[in-house]
Amino acid sequence: MSSGGSDLDKAIAQLRACRPIPENQVREVCYKARELLIEEGNVVTVDAPVTICGDIHGQFHDLMELFRVGGDVPDTNYLFMGDFVDRGFYSLESFLLLLCLKVRYPDRITLIRGNHESRQITTVYGFYDECLRKYGSANVWRHCCEVFDYLALGALVIGASTTLTPTDGPPAPTNTTQLAPLDSEIEIETLNAANEIMYRYARDSSQASNSQQPSTQSPSASSPTIPTPSNIGPAGTSATSSSSGSPGTPGGAILCVHGGLSPLIDTIDKIRLLDRKQEVPHEGAMCDLLWSDPDEIDGWGLSPRGAGFLFGADIVKCFNYKNDLSLIARAHQLVMEGFKEMFESSIVTVWSAPNYCYRCGNVAAILELEEDGSNAGFVRRSNGERGAGAGGWILGSNVGPNTSNRHSSPGAGNGNGNGNANRLGALTDSVPQRRRDGPGRRYRVFEAAPQDSRGMPAKKPVADYFL
């Protein structure tokens, strides 16, 4: 492995077949991953196009299905929002495969930390036991936990287009609504695993309202159907009706984090200042980012999970405005439809573990963000933190680690004046808040991998019930 390439490729091939790699190889991969991750800031900057994924939870076969639906690495850029391990039976293979891909293609895949990437949680929820079972000792678990400590806490996706290039595919047989015309500004597309279009909404379309509730059916007849969304817009969306965007206009950035916001964090820079290289604490900003949930409340609330907080629409909208974000993408909560937009599309939950725990009957989703055309000439760089002077692409207050003169240089932002907390306070009072146009969002919805998955070790659906 020390020679890089071919050993690593062999390990990847072995893991793709859902076979664990030897302990010494795990140690080496973990060491290399740490060397990479230590260079990343707490908030990794990621360029669109990118495909954003939620919880995986050791459902290896479904991770393979995700790659089939979303495209393989390195052809597709991926951002995984944590919770790779626990609950499923193949946490080890799932996490190590993602980690090997990270080491092999560091610019193509971004991994951020979920609340399950923790020593304490993995001893309760299965990953520890799985390592012990598969290796006979806790060494591999220990190596993995050391990597967990170095995972970034969030990611900032920049350069995402506000409109989608319409997918060239047939409408899904289940589609019951008029698809937006191809020449309109497409804000949302929802596709099934067969690349059929379940919905397509234009940004200024009246279809993109909460009142319209298309009834959804299963993309394939043999599997669990997608339940009709209840308190959400079309297929989990709460699409906006703003029509101010024009094709190619870059929207605000998209913050990706496993759980959500923290009452201790009002700017992304404050996330950057945390000391993340540790076990997830029981409280505090780092804990909140990994544990919190959006909820239909005003302000902040106590979380029934016992860690993190609940936060309402006002909190999200204020945070997004202040940080020049157009969207927060997060995972952490099971949603039966695979994704769920809330608070006028200011935040979305993406869930990527279909039939969670082999029991829940839900579908999964991934979120594709396209590259903004005007950013085409922008040079892709590695996942390292963008330095303050790195180029013309400076968003809001997200100018990098050099924050010492933040409050004395209101011009540090991108011209919207968002770089200065004091000035922002005045702005929010006096300027009517106009949201940044959200990015065009393509959701690919998929179901659990079939039982007899391509010669890999069998799934083990021994879900517990009360009997």
Partner 1 sequence: MSTHHHHEIPNLRTLLGSRRGGGTRGRGRGRGPPGSSHEGNEAARDNAVRNTDQDAAGSRVSCVKLGYLLDPYAQFFAIQPSTRRLPLLNRGTYVRTSAIDLLVDRFMTIAPDAPKQIVSLGAGTDTRFFRLRDKYPEATIIYHEIDFPANTTAKLNSIQRHAQLYSKLRTTPPSSPLALESMASSYHSPTYNIHALDLRTLAIFEDGQLPSLPNLDPSTPTLILSEMCLVYLQASVVSKILSAFLDRYVPAPTPISLVLYEPILPNDAFGRTMISNLSTRDIHLPTLATYPKLADERLRLKSQGFSNGFKAADTDFIWREWVSEDEKERVAGLEMLDELEELELLLRHYCIAWGWRDGGEGGLFTTAWKDTRQQEEG
Q: Which of 190, 258, 207, 255 is nearest to 440 (CA)?
A: 190
Smallest separation (angstroms) from partner 1 to the CB of 371: 33
Q: Which of 57, 61, 116, 143 is catalytic?
A: 116
- Torsion 427-429-430-436 (CA) sign: positive
x-marked contacts with Mn ion along 71-90 as a string, rule CB under 5 A:
------------x-------
Partner from Mn ion, partner 1, none contacting 307, C-beta within 5 to 8 A by type: partner 1
Burial of 234 per CB tally in 10 Å (0-12, 13-18, 19+) = buried
Residue 182 and residue 99: Cα distance in Å, rounded?
Answer: 39
Smallest separation (angstroms) from Mn ion to the CB of 291: 7
In three-state secondary structure terms, 202 is: strand
Nearer to partner 1, 102 or 116 (CB): 116
In three-state secondary structure terms, 425 is: helix
> Which residue's CB atom is positioned nearest to Mn ion?
332
Work out whether 321 is an interface residue with partner 1 (CB under 8 A). no
Which amino acid, 195? Answer: N
Among 335, 347, 364, 366, binds partner 1 (CB under 8 A): 335
Q: Which of 234, 223, 219, 209 is nearest to 169 (CA)?
A: 219
Helix (H) or strand (E) holding 123: helix 119-125
- Torsion 135-112-159-433 (CA) sign: positive
Work out whether 232 is an interface residue with partner 1 (CB under 8 A). no
User: Could you give the angle at which helices 313-322 and 421-430 cross, rounded to 10 degrees?
Assistant: 120
Instruction: Report 354-383 residues binding partner 1 (CB under 8 A).
Output: 355-362
Residue 224 and residue 263: Cα distance in Å, rounded?
Answer: 38
Partner from partner 1, Mn ion, none contacting 457, C-beta within 5 to 8 A by type: none
Smallest separation (angstroms) from partner 1 to the CB of 363: 8
Nearer to Mn ion, 115 or 167 (CB): 115
Nearer to Mn ion, 203 or 332 (CB): 332
Helix (H) or strand (E) holding 310: strand 309-311
Q: Residue 177 to residues 190, 208, 337, 362, 387: CA-CA distances in angstroms?
A: 12, 11, 18, 23, 46
Q: Which of 293, 358, 237 is nearest to 115 (CA)?
A: 293
Work out whether 132 is an interface residue with partner 1 (CB under 8 A). no
Burial of 349 per CB tally in 10 Å (0-12, 13-18, 19+) = buried
Work out whether 292 is an interface residue with Mn ion (CB under 5 A). no
x-marked contacts with partner 1 along 200-229 as a string, rule CB under 8 A:
------------------------xxxx--
Instruction: Report 14-43 residues binding partner 1 (CB under 8 A).
Output: none
Nearer to partner 1, 15 or 85 (CB): 85
Q: Which of 411, 389, 327 is nearest to 158 (CA)?
A: 327
Work out whether 421 is an interface residue with partner 1 (CB under 8 A). no
Smallest separation (angstroms) from partner 1 to the CB of 212: 22
User: Is 332 among the residues known to form the active site?
Assistant: no
List of residues 6+ apart from 372 with CB closer than 8 A? 48, 159, 160, 161, 162, 248, 249, 250, 251
Choose the stretch contacting partner 1; rule: CB under 8 A; options: 116-124, 165-173, 321-329, 410-418.
116-124
Residue 288 token pair: 């909140």
Partner from Mn ion, partner 1, none contacting 121, C-beta within 5 to 8 A by type: partner 1
Write down the H helix ranges in 205-362: 268-272, 285-291, 313-322
Partner from partner 1, Mn ion, none contacting 25, C-beta within 5 to 8 A by type: none
Work out whether 119 is an interface residue with partner 1 (CB under 8 A). no
Partner from Mn ion, partner 1, none contacting 362, C-beta within 5 to 8 A by type: partner 1
Nearer to partner 1, 194 or 463 (CB): 463
Partner from partner 1, Mn ion, none contacting 275, C-beta within 5 to 8 A by type: none
Among 306, 377, 389, 392, binds partner 1 (CB under 8 A): 306
Among 104, 322, 332, 436, binds Mn ion (CB under 5 A): 332
Angle at 77 between CA 146 and CA 237, to 5 degrees: 100
Instruction: Report 101-130 residues binding Mn ion (CB under 5 A).
Output: 114-115
Q: What are phi and psi of 146, to 5 degrees?
A: -65, -35
Smallest separation (angstroms) from partner 1 to the CB of 6: 39
Q: Which residues are catalytic?
A: 116
Residues that bind Mn ion (CB under 5 A): 83, 114-115, 332
Residues that bind partner 1 (CB under 8 A): 115-116, 121, 124-125, 224-227, 304-307, 333-336, 355-362, 461-467
